[in-house]
């Protein structure tokens, strides 16, 4: 296990905070290869964060070959859930009843996946904050730096550095100006090495765009 003093906080741990077993580095708490999580992304759960892939990633069945991708330095609050395609019932047929689920029992000439509409993978960018009990639906892409308010239902793509809330989620405001957002997307500070982030953390924490521009 790495013990390099230059790392921000040992990224190989499950629980990065002393005496806190409710907050985990999510990457180190999952086993499902179709869930991909970046370094330093944290998940907090009042009960047990190690159950994330069972309790929070729902209707995520191998038959669909879907992936959940979450970037680096994200913060995910208790109860946030990612709802995949098998939660849907198809809208393409006259009936929404999931007849194809009974393919084998009723000897039907259909595919099981015909029971639902497939909207694709879920992709969450870097430095995204997902609030308490938010719901992220299948096919949604969330941009870098976005904030999802508590109990928001996200049913469409969210642009970078945008705050959304409500059911369904609607844009509340941009976090920064368009010029600043464009700069941050190009900067991609989350891809810096650990030591560079640590050395320049004060600039990040204080939104010092002028100093960051000089650094870039």
- Three-class SS string for 18-46? CCCCCEEEHHHHCCCCCEEECCCCEEECC
Which of left, alpha, beta for 211 (phi over 0: left; psi -120 to 50: alpha)?
Answer: alpha
DSSP for 85-135 reads GGGS--SSSS--S-GGGGTTTTT-SS-GGGGS-----EEE-SS-EE-TT-E
3-class state of residue 91 by DSSP? coil
Element (H, E) at 201: helix 201-205
Hey, how many other C-beta atoms are within 10 angstroms of the C-beta on 64?
Answer: 19
Please choose, from the candidates 60, 69, 110, the residue with its C-alpha nearest in 3D space to the C-alpha of residue 88.
Answer: 60
Active-site residue, 89 included? yes
Choice among 44, 78, 89, 141 that is catalytic:
89
Catalytic residue numbers, as ranges: 89
């Amino acid at each position: 296990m790495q013990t390099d003093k230059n790392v921000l906080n040992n990224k190989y741990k499950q629980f990065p905070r002393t005496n806190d077993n409710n907050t985990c580095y999510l990457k180190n708490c999952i086993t499902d290869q179709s869930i991909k999580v970046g370094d330093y992304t944290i998940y907090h759960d009042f009960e047990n964060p190690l159950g994330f892939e069972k309790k929070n990633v729902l209707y995520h069945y191998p038959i669909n070959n879907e992936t959940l991708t979450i970037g680096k330095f994200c913060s995910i609050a208790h109860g946030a859930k990612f709802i995949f395609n098998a939660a849907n019932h198809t809208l393409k047929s006259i009936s929404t009843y999931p007849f194809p689920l009974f393919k084998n029992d009723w000897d039907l000439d259909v595919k099981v996946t015909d029971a639902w509409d497939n909207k694709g993978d879920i992709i969450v960018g870097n430095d995204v904050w997902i609030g308490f009990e938010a719901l992220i639906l299948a096919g949604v892409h969330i941009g870098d730096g976005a904030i999802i308010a508590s109990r928001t239902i996200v049913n469409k793509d969210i642009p970078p550095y945008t705050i959304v809330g409500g059911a369904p989620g609607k844009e509340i405001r941009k976090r920064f100006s368009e010029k600043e957002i464009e700069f941050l997307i190009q900067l991609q500070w989350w891809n810096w090495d650990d030591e560079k982030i640590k050395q320049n953390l004060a600039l990040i924490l204080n939104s010092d765009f002028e100093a960051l521009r000089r650094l870039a």
